[in-house]
Structure 1
């Protein structure tokens, strides 16, 4: 529970965590320094100043008591003594959150001063009209009914002006350290963000330019390893492309020769059932080969272009209608979307071909747009599959139980669709149709590419 609470409190980014840690460490060090300064330096100074001030007040009180009555009037006038305490004088100085330390120092000075003065010599604090202290002196022996209240300035050690400035300076240094940490983290975060952008481009099938390796040693090591990885991927991609081209050529060439040989070997007018069967098998081999090639390629190298998905769907539906397969279209107005034309056509053709082969009836294609996404749904009225079976169909070489009666497939059709959808930043979903059947949704973000 404690760990979950810490995770909730801590910021999510490394930048923010480092800044918070830096601020906490600086503030903690400043608080410890101020604590040592207050307890071992400033407090003894204030207490010593209060003790000296109490000695001065006691001496003044003894002087007034020893002054002859004839000269006492002139002395009290010079000291600005009052018989009555002014109404603005209070028991303690006013409280202020903005000047909390000064209030604390005033209280400490007053407590120490009262501890050193006799109990019958009260002390009052005046803030209005200038800060000063009023102290009641003892009444003279020849006039015991008229004690004197004398206003005295507050000693400099009890003001706390210099230390208050030091506190604000410490807070300023803490803020400066936090800003410096923020600037350092921004400097470190920039190559990391560039690395993240490059990694996303690699995952999208692109090959970004090499990252700079002239930064800090740790970042340069990561960037160098990433550059080495992209170079290896480029070499592997080139090898794969060469291998696929060789496989396609080396397999299709003997297949073409076999077709010609069969056509030339059969006498004119002989039974052509064997040729028809052989042609069918050869077509299945080419279909399987093409599916493998499509799965291996998936259009990573194709550049996205702005286009209208509805137009592409209408053209494909027209092609299928010419072959006797009518799709009911329900196409809503879609926002502008950039997509890879050949890859998207392959995606839609696979879905519509699956609907024809495994559904047979109730063929539909719907499109609609929501906030930030475009959805294409291809449906049929075939036998429904369970959710687990539908998810398994996304994996390569997986075929549903309704596909066992159909030959010529490899189980790569939906895998190709899934890869192309992910290439465009989207995904593939399966939904049961009301009244029976299946509907496959391709959800694409509008700003995907």
Structure 2
């Protein structure tokens, strides 16, 4: 399963990068805007003071040149002079205060009552000991640029480029960890794992190197164990065959049957050890699970006519397939377990897995699976299940029923077994990418459901 969203390393790195880049960009833009606003206001004050001084010099020189359209002079007693009690427009208060500081002491500044409604309000200025009011249209701030705010455009462009570069760096940083997690999950399911390429920071390369070494060591140990078990099986098969032959020669029928039964039990235990320890990949062809279950039921009835017949409830789609050898081993162990420790009738069922299926069912060792990352709980796909109508397993012991060498004799009593039946089933299912789910049926009996993903 691929990690997505903020739960993945890439998602969290991406969120961290965006926040770290966005915060200083926003603060810088806000500070620059404030500074630029103050600079524009200061520029407007200086421009107004310059015009007032220019008009004063123009009047003092007696020049006959006309003043610009924004400027004119009005005699002290001329028409339209605003009252001295005219309030200053609130949005111009800072501008008027700064302009007053820049002009000579005693300068009067007045504005008409409708100054707040005008785009360029008129301001009346009377310098000390001057016979005329200077009237001008004022702009407290410079007009906005007609081509738009280039600073904001450049800010967005630089932020986008930085985010893209940072996301690429985050993707490169998390890629070794993701490859390592995929390899670990594959190795946990018993599949062959090629050496992972060492890349990324030094810590990631060291982790990958140690993982590769661990996989190589485990594979070598498994190979040695397989060779050893093959030798043990060869050494045990011959004495067991001789023991069975000698048992057949015993004259006492009761003793002969007991010897044969014990030899068969020992042979069965040896076979279970070999199946449990076998880690080789299943190379058998894929088969339809419905067709294989139907064929298995027919062969079972022919081989064991004295046993109650198997029931079939095959609802899986035709494209639900599994390796023939794996499916045969799974069915053999489950059906033998059901007949030996449960009670007939025994049912083989297949169908689609949904998230609401089997409420209350306990995935075998699901806590352990989630902790080591061997595989997520499968809530969609298809299943094959074997159920009986015996006494079942106590709810408190469902979680440990599939552990190796665990015997549940009080609930599923019996002899001549080593507690590997459900452990073999769970290992085979996990090796095929599936999940083993144990539950007790409503009417009693154990139900073992093997879930697999579709496709």
TM-score band by shorter chain is 0.7 to 0.9
**What displacement does 1:187 show?**
1.9
**What displacement does 1:261 show?**
4.4
**How many pairs does the alignment contain?**
407
Distance change >3 Å, CA 278–CA 216, structure 1 → 2: same
- SS of the residue aligned with 2:317? coil
**What displacement does 1:351 show?**
1.4
2:296 aligns with 316
8 Å Cα contact 1:53/1:113 also seen in 2? no
Cα deviation 1:215-264 (Å, max 9, x = unaligned): 54333222222221221122112111101101111111221233344556
Aligned equivalents of 2:122, 2:320: Cα separation in 1: 83
Whether 1:20 aligns to 2:11 is: no
Q: Describe how 1:61-72 pairs up with structure 2 within 5 A.
A: 62=56
2:53 aligns with 59
- SS of the residue aligned with 2:241? helix
2:271 aligns with 290
Distance change >3 Å, CA 280–CA 373, structure 1 → 2: same
Cα deviation 1:150-171 (Å, max 9, x = unaligned): 3467887x86899954454344
Whether 1:211 aligns to 2:196 is: yes
Farther off after superposition, 229-238 or 359-368: 359-368
**Residue of 386, 400, 425 corresponding to 1:392:** 400
2:372 aligns with none
Q: Describe how 1:265-304 pairs up with structure 2 within 5 A.
A: 270-297=251-278, 300-303=280-283
- SS of the residue aligned with 1:310? helix
Aligned equivalents of 1:341, 1:21: Cα separation in 2: 49
- SS of the residue aligned with 2:393? coil
Whether 1:354 aligns to 2:337 is: yes
TM superposition score normalised by structure 1: 0.75
8 Å Cα contact 1:393/1:400 also seen in 2? yes
Ranges in structure 2 where 5+ consecutive residues have no aligned partner: 74-78, 82-88, 355-379
1:337 aligns with 320
RMSD of the TM alignment (CA)? 4.2
TM superposition score normalised by structure 2: 0.74
Whether 1:233 aligns to 2:224 is: no
Q: Describe how 1:411-422 pairs up with structure 2 within 5 A.
A: 411-422=419-430
**What displacement does 1:76 show?**
4.6
Cα deviation 1:364-388 (Å, max 9, x = unaligned): 2222214532122322221233211
**Residue of 169, 172, 189 corresponding to 1:184:** 169
Aligned equivalents of 2:406, 2:336: Cα separation in 1: 17
**What displacement does 1:390 show?**
2.8
- SS of the residue aligned with 2:402? coil
**Residue of 185, 200, 225 corresponding to 1:200:** 185
2:109 aligns with 120
8 Å Cα contact 1:23/1:174 also seen in 2? no
Q: Describe how 1:360-379 pairs up with structure 2 within 5 A.
A: 360-370=343-353, 372-379=380-387
- SS of the residue aligned with 1:200? helix
Aligned equivalents of 1:159, 1:390: Cα separation in 2: 75
- SS of the residue aligned with 1:368? strand
Task: Looking at secondary structure, tell me which structure has more helix per residue.
Answer: 1
- SS of the residue aligned with 1:415? helix
Aligned equivalents of 2:134, 2:385: Cα separation in 1: 99
Whether 1:175 aligns to 2:175 is: no
Ranges in structure 1 where 5+ consecutive residues have no aligned partner: 1-9, 86-90, 94-105
Distance change >3 Å, CA 338–CA 229, structure 1 → 2: farther
8 Å Cα contact 1:133/1:151 also seen in 2? yes
Distance change >3 Å, CA 226–CA 304, structure 1 → 2: farther
Aligned equivalents of 1:160, 1:426: Cα separation in 2: 66
**Residue of 433, 451, 454 corresponding to 1:425:** 433
Aligned equivalents of 2:61, 2:126: Cα separation in 1: 13
8 Å Cα contact 1:126/1:134 also seen in 2? no
Distance change >3 Å, CA 143–CA 77, structure 1 → 2: farther
- SS of the residue aligned with 2:404? coil
Aligned equivalents of 2:411, 2:11: Cα separation in 1: 54
